[in-house]
Homo-oligomer: A and B are copies of this chain.
Amino acid sequence: MSHDHSSEHPFDAFNILIKQMPEPSAQAVAAVRARDAQLTKPPGALGRLEEIVEHLAAWQDKEMPTVERPTVVVFAGNHGVTKQGVSPFPASVTEQMLKNFSAGGAAVNQICATWGAGLKVFELALQIPTKDFTEAPALETRECAGTVAFGMESIAGGADLLAFGEMGIGNTTSAAAIYHALYGGKASDWVGRGTGLDDEGLKRKAAVVERAVALHKPHLTTPWEVLRRLGGREIAAMAGGILAARMERIPVLLDGYVACAAAAVLHAIDASALDHCLAGHLSPEGAHAEVLRRFGKKPLLNLGMRLGEGSGAAMAIGVVKAAVACHRDMATFASAGVDNKA
């Protein structure tokens, strides 16, 4: 007997929220632009730092945007598809790395500490991996919807800037399958080396993605079904987190290849669902550049990082902090006694 009663439409609640998403504040953006024009610099000279401040103002609805409580939220999940040999690391590493996050030993811990950012880590039923999606849907409908809802709850705590990250051996395979299902093309277009696959492993991974998408194709009637059948718990939770951030007017920094698979599900439902997000970092993994192009977003950073953990987005928190500090604390032409243009 299945727990999946489609008559209950467990994803409907999220669809209703998506229809009620708040819009950017034109008034806050106008206030930022008016102040920016008075700061002791040529117009536009801070480049994307100015764009960042406008973005924060628009979504926080604050004429003076803040980055006082930037928070990285990391979700960890295990993947049944690992039994197809898609990662050079054993699945046990997911739980071990979770302990490493808790003990403060991972890369994302050090990056957050550098900026004074908060870090929250959530374990998502690590003892119950998703089903191997080459054989069956990765998650039951209620399991998937419940995990999206859990991700929505995860943002509680007063953050004014959020980044979502993940840990899950096998999850670049899941992300590739989501992209292939949403965007078409060939499976090999969307697959990358993950934690370090060799050429043979890469071919195997592409074949796994191709087989999985072919199996589920007749049932991929909505982006939620793509998430449920090909995703993972950490990907579902990130989708919930990104959506909840929008509802709460908290700007989001998107992380890399896997985190953007969660974003892609929302984007496929409503192309404006990521308007509150900035792309934090371009991953060299697989097709991340193409995914960002489809989102219409230019990454703030391109540092060759391909670690997951939200580490790329976490790096971008520093950029946002500096941008806000410039806007908030710079002198004006009048206050500093500096002549404006001749």
A-side residues, CB < 8 A to B, are 39-49, 87-90, 92-93, 96-97, 99-100, 103-107, 109-111, 113-115, 195-196, 284, 300-307, 311, 315, 318-319, 321-322, 325-326, 328-331, 335-342
A325 nearest CB neighbor, chain B only: B110
A340 to B92, CA, bound (A): 10
B305 & A47 in contact (Cβ 8 Å cutoff): yes
**Knowing that A110-B326, A111-B325, A114-B321 are A-B contacts, what are 5 other residue pairs whose CB atoms are under 8 Å apart, sorted by A's residue number?**
A41-B106, A46-B107, A47-B304, A48-B305, A89-B340
Assembly stoichiometry (copies): 2
Max chain B Cβ within 10 angstroms of own Cβ: one of A93, A114, A319, A325:
A114
B114 & A325 in contact (Cβ 8 Å cutoff): yes
A88 & B341 in contact (Cβ 8 Å cutoff): yes
B113 & A325 in contact (Cβ 8 Å cutoff): yes
A40 to B28, CA, bound (A): 42
12 A-B pairs with C-beta separation under 8 A: A40-B97, A40-B100, A40-B107, A43-B196, A45-B305, A46-B307, A89-B339, A97-B336, A99-B337, A107-B326, A300-B303, A301-B301
Given contacts A40-B105, A107-B326, A331-B103, contact A338 B93 (CB under 8 A): yes
B89 & A342 in contact (Cβ 8 Å cutoff): yes
Tell me which residues across on chain B come within 8 A of A43, comparing CB atoms.
196
B96 & A48 in contact (Cβ 8 Å cutoff): no
Closest beta carbon of chain B to A89's beta carbon, Å: 6
A319 to B104, CA, bound (A): 19
Given contacts A322-B315, A336-B99, contact A196 B329 (CB under 8 A): no
| Other-chain residue from B88, B107, B115, B329 in contact with A41 (beta carbon distance below 8 A) | B107
Tell me which residues across on chain B come within 8 A of A328, comparing CB atoms.
110
Tell me which residues across on chain B come within 8 A of A114, comparing CB atoms.
318, 321-322, 325
B97 & A322 in contact (Cβ 8 Å cutoff): no
A322 to B113, CA, bound (A): 9
Tell me which residues across on chain B come within 8 A of A196, comparing CB atoms.
42-44, 341
Tell me which residues across on chain B come within 8 A of A326, comparing CB atoms.
107, 110-111
| Other-chain residue from B48, B92, B306, B311 in contact with A304 (beta carbon distance below 8 A) | B48
A338 to B325, CA, bound (A): 38
Given contacts A42-B307, A307-B46, A336-B105, contact A100 B319 (CB under 8 A): no
A307 & B45 in contact (Cβ 8 Å cutoff): yes
Tell me which residues across on chain B come within 8 A of A315, comparing CB atoms.
319, 322
Closest beta carbon of chain B to A101's beta carbon, Å: 10
Tell me which residues across on chain B come within 8 A of A88, comparing CB atoms.
341-342
Tell me which residues across on chain B come within 8 A of A311, comparing CB atoms.
46
B330 & A107 in contact (Cβ 8 Å cutoff): yes
A44 to B93, CA, bound (A): 18
